[in-house]
Amino acid sequence: MKRFLRVAVWGLVAGALAWAQLSAPRIGNHPGYTRVVLDLPPGVTYTLEPLGPALRITLPGQSVVPVITQVNLPELTGYALEQKGSNAVLTLLTPQGVGPSSGYKLSLLPAASGNGQRLVLDLSGAFVDLIPLEALPTFSFVKASGKRFSVVLDPGHGGPDPGAMGYVTEKVVTLEVAKRSASYLQAAGVEVTLTRSEDKAFSADKRTDLAARLALAEGKNLYVSIHANAAPPAKAEEWCGIEVFYFGPAAKPFYPLAAPLWPNVSQIARAAPPTDPGAVTSVVASLPPTPPLPIASASPSESTSPAVAPSPPEPAAPAPPNAGTISDGFDSAVVMEATEGITPISPPSTLPALLPTISASQRVSLSQGLAVKVMSYLLGSSTATGRGVRVADFYVNKFAPVPSILVEVGYVTHPIEGMNLRNPDYLERLAYGIARGVLEYLENDYPAR
């Protein structure tokens, strides 16, 4: 009996010694994300703090050998394992950013052997909040003298031109986002013109097609072109996130902060001369959930994919043959379609007339302001990674007669973001972000008429 007790006690002591110190995390590189695995003793507690460029994990009552390690991965550039009093602290450096509901996924799994557990953290800028938006603010616009704002939404590509090909086709995504965004704007009292409302184009000739789209901007207030991006094969599992472009002098990319969606906003009323109450439109901007694209899901494990959609039936494809690469000189290269900027297209023979109250220089300044506002609200609504507000000579921005921007809502070639772009709830978030940015811009920044 005494021998049995000695064995039992020694087993407990050995188990405690085995967990006397936590080991450094294991790092795994997977398509579109990085996996960090920390082996923990049973029953340990932890707290997570998303800090933007870092994710901090605190483990009370645990001890570690301090270490700082550099990692050369798109989603993880390094980590620090520290002892702070009685707590072990692991800080992960996350260049693609983490937020309260984005940038990482957490799983707690049983140990591969023994009675411990594994804290599994998957890191990717493509991990976003996919919960449907609810309780959206009410927008009210006062219509003065029977006039109202007019906006052109341009879903890129269509018909014989599919755009970028990957986990989803660009022309499908752009049309879906544009139609949903149009509904939000119309509900707020904005007149919306879509350059296409179905899978068609004005012409198979790109120059003719783009000129016809721009012609619709004459007499309008803003022009917003909606696209999706593609990365070259070597970067397909790395590049993700949203970009907004405008035409203007060369400048460094600008990275606006995400705008909160509920900043004490109950309504937005544009200052205008006195008018009768019947001229005020107040509508809650909401849309029915209409799933246009197939969706799938999977469960996480240490050796398989994270809790995101599995590989789709069609494989990720490289950027289309008309894609080229430009570099802004300060950041990573940006892939853009040659037919809309990299290989210049001659302007149409007849350009739409500029608004009489807006000069060419004002158009550049106003376009920049619109780009910043839309990017801010896109980041707030989608929780996606922001790749910056950038300058480029896209055809539709360079020759538009009104302030104009081109929005790249994500990368169809990224294994995770490509699947996000198939998710109706995520498309709704993108559509709302675009519409909200446009509405806030019209309310606060558009020149008084």
Q: Quick one: pLDDT at residue 303?
A: 45
Does residue 323 belong to any structural domain of this protein? yes
Contact by Cβ (8 Å): 50, 101:
no
Instruction: Tell me the β-bridge partners of 98.
Output: 52
pLDDT cut 70: percent of the chain above it: 71
Contact by Cβ (8 Å): 415, 237:
yes
Pair 183, 60 in one domain: no
Categorise residue 410: left if φ over 0, alpha if ψ from -120 to 50, beta otherwise. left
Does residue 131 belong to any structural domain of this protein? no
Q: Quick one: pLDDT at residue 358?
A: 74
Residue of higher predicted confidence among 118 and 307: 118
Residue 34 corresponds to which amino acid? T
Decide if pLDDT at 135 tops 90: no
Question: Would strands 67-70 and 52-60 be described as parallel, antiparallel, or unpaired?
Answer: unpaired
Domain that holds residue 72: 21-123
Q: Quick one: pLDDT at residue 447?
A: 83
Pair 100, 237 in one domain: no
How buried is 139 (Cβ within 10 angstroms: 0-12 exposed, 13-18 middle, 19+ buried)?
buried
The pLDDT confidence band at residue 58, using thresholds 50, 70 and 90, is very high
pLDDT in tens, 365-384: 999 999 999 999 999 999 99
Q: Which of 253-267, 309-323, 398-412 bottoms out in mean pLDDT, i.e. has the lowest?
A: 309-323
Q: Quick one: pLDDT at residue 281?
A: 25
Pair 119, 142 in one domain: no
Decide if pLDDT at 10 tops 50: no
Pair 197, 111 in one domain: no
Reference 289, options 158, 167, 189, 425; nearest CA is: 425
Pair 149, 114 in one domain: no
Cα–Cα separations (whole angstroms), residue 63 to 24, 25, 90, 91: 11, 14, 11, 15
Other CB atoms within 10 Å distance of the CB of residue 215:
15
Other CB atoms within 10 Å distance of the CB of residue 23:
13
pLDDT in tens, 88-102: 999 999 999 999 999
Does residue 12 belong to any structural domain of this protein? no
pLDDT in tens, 195-235: 999 999 999 999 999 999 999 999 999 999 999 999 999 99
What mean pLDDT, rounded, does the chain reach? 79
The pLDDT confidence band at residue 138, using thresholds 50, 70 and 90, is low
Which residues are CB-neighbours of 296 under 8 A, at least 6 positions away? 309, 310, 312, 419
**Domain containing 33 — which CATH number?**
2.60.40.3500
Mean pLDDT of 129-154: 75
Q: Which of 97, 123, 149 is the last residue of a domain?
A: 123
Q: Quick one: pLDDT at residue 229?
A: 97
Other CB atoms within 10 Å distance of the CB of residue 54:
18
Reference 70, options 59, 79, 57, 62; nearest CA is: 79
Q: Which of 65, 90, 123 is the last residue of a domain?
A: 123
Pair 117, 144 in one domain: no
Does residue 33 belong to any structural domain of this protein? yes
Pair 250, 219 in one domain: yes
Does residue 205 belong to any structural domain of this protein? yes
Does residue 305 belong to any structural domain of this protein? yes
Pair 396, 331 in one domain: yes
Does residue 14 belong to any structural domain of this protein? no
Mean pLDDT of 185-194: 93
Other CB atoms within 10 Å distance of the CB of residue 230:
28
The token pair at 345 is: 């297209």
Pair 207, 80 in one domain: no
**Domain containing 239 — which CATH number?**
3.40.630.40
Q: Quick one: pLDDT at residue 360?
A: 82
Total domains in the chain come to 2
CA angle at 379 for the pair 376 and 441, rounded to the nearest 5°: 30
Pair 297, 431 in one domain: yes
* Long-range pairs of 3-12 with CB within 8 A, sequence gap ≥ 24: none
Q: Quick one: pLDDT at residue 20?
A: 62
Q: Quick one: pLDDT at residue 325?
A: 29
Pair 145, 119 in one domain: no
Count Cα neighbours of 36 within 13 Å in the Cβ-side half-sphere: 28
Q: Which of 74, 99, 123 is the last residue of a domain?
A: 123
* Residue that is written with structure tokens 């790749």 in the block: 387
Measured in degrees and rounded to the nearest 5, phi and psi for residue 247 equal: -95, 130
Does residue 210 belong to any structural domain of this protein? yes
* Residue that is written with structure tokens 């179905």 in the block: 198
Q: How far is CA 8 from the centre of its chain?
A: 55
The pLDDT confidence band at residue 64, using thresholds 50, 70 and 90, is very high
Contact by Cβ (8 Å): 163, 157:
yes
Pair 114, 237 in one domain: no
d(Cα 100, Cα 383) in Å, to the nearest integer?
9
